[in-house]
Amino acid sequence: MEKTIKKPVEEKPTVGKADRRINAILSVVLGVLCVAWIYPIVMIFFNSLKTERAITTSRAFELPTAETFVGLKNYIYGIQEMDFLSSFWYSLVITVSSVVLILLCCSMCAWFITRVNGKLSKLMYGLCMFSMVVPFQMVMFTLAKTADSLKLNNPYNICIIYLGFGAGLAVFMFTGFMKSMPVEIEEAAMIDGCNPLQIFFRVVCPILKPTMISTAILETMWVWNDYLLPTLVLDIKTYRTIPMAIQYFRGSYGKVEMAPMMACIMITILPVIILYLICQKYIIDGVVAGAVKG
């Protein structure tokens, strides 16, 4: 008779009482932090549905009632009267052009740095890392004068300035990920007759997808919400991005109209939240791959 060999039963790790208590405490603490983080956004949404008087009085932290609820009146007023759509268009143009330029140029630069191991590539990598250390306040006045002389003071050319400030983080993430990529894949494509551009766009870019998406989200949140750089470079009277328009959200006699401002803030944060929710599964993978691998 054939003997049946029994496989040893793997014992599942048991969770002790101390670990359960720690997990419960951490869950409570993180839950409180999430509520504290979301609370300002919820209050902005509720206040965007109230009257101006309700916001400027002690009723700002109350829920909308039949007396204070105005519906979408603040949203319509903010879009029509404050020329919010033009500011939205300028922010959209600046964000899309800047992020696309950063992804394209920085991914190519990182590919050159990882595949050409020379003094020039090391110098380029060092300069990109150094740009992450230099505070913006040290160069903002010189930058504003340079932008005026080079005609970069409009929404269609300011992306070049954002490329310079966003290259440090993007090159760092792309370089860290590309160091883990096997060179044999690119060599096989070269043997098949691909030139360097075909290798980059057909072989390297599909592999870089998680890092590209995570970098795009981080750069989008930075450019979309940036206030200082457009204020220094752009002409405030001609071009106003969304943060600039919200800052100058004033009515008659210089009075700040809080209710339409709250409505426009909700419109502003909505695209970034939607983008983050769609692409959130790539963020952790891309950041970990770009910062740890290699």
Class of domain 81-292 as given by CATH: mainly alpha
For the chain, give the mean pLDDT. Answer: 82
- 51-61: average pLDDT: 78
**Rounded to an integer, what distance in angstroms lies between the CA atom of residue 8 and that of residue 18?**
29
Helices 17-47 and 258-292, packing angle to 10 deg: 140
The answer to which of 20-24, 27-31, 45-49, 81-85 has the lowest mean pLDDT is 81-85
pLDDT of residue 262: 86
Model confidence at 94: pLDDT above 90: yes
pLDDT digits (tens, 9 = 90+) for 215-236: 898 899 899 988 889 988 888 8
- 88-96: average pLDDT: 92
Percent of the chain topping pLDDT 90: 13
Angstrom CA distances, 138 to 129, 142, 144, 222, stand at: 17, 9, 12, 19
**Rounded to an integer, what distance in angstroms lies between the CA atom of residue 214 and that of residue 106?**
14
Q: How far is CA 237 from the centre of its chain?
A: 27
**Token representation of residue 277:** 């929710």
Model confidence at 170: pLDDT above 80: yes
* Confidence bin at 291 (pLDDT 50/70/90): very low
Minimal CA–CA distance to 224: which of 125, 88, 113? 88
- Higher-scoring residue by pLDDT: 62, 7: 62
pTM: 0.80
Model confidence at 11: pLDDT above 70: no
Model confidence at 259: pLDDT above 90: no
Which sequence spans correspond to the domains of the chain?
18-73, 81-292
Q: Under 8 Å CB-to-CB from 107, ≥6 apart: which residues?
A: 170, 174, 200, 204, 205, 208, 212
Model confidence at 102: pLDDT above 90: yes
Side chain identity, residue 292: V
**Rounded to an integer, what distance in angstroms lies between the CA atom of residue 183 and that of residue 116?**
12
- 199-206: average pLDDT: 88
- Higher-scoring residue by pLDDT: 177, 16: 177
- 164-183: average pLDDT: 87
Model confidence at 161: pLDDT above 70: yes
- 12-35: average pLDDT: 81
Model confidence at 290: pLDDT above 50: no
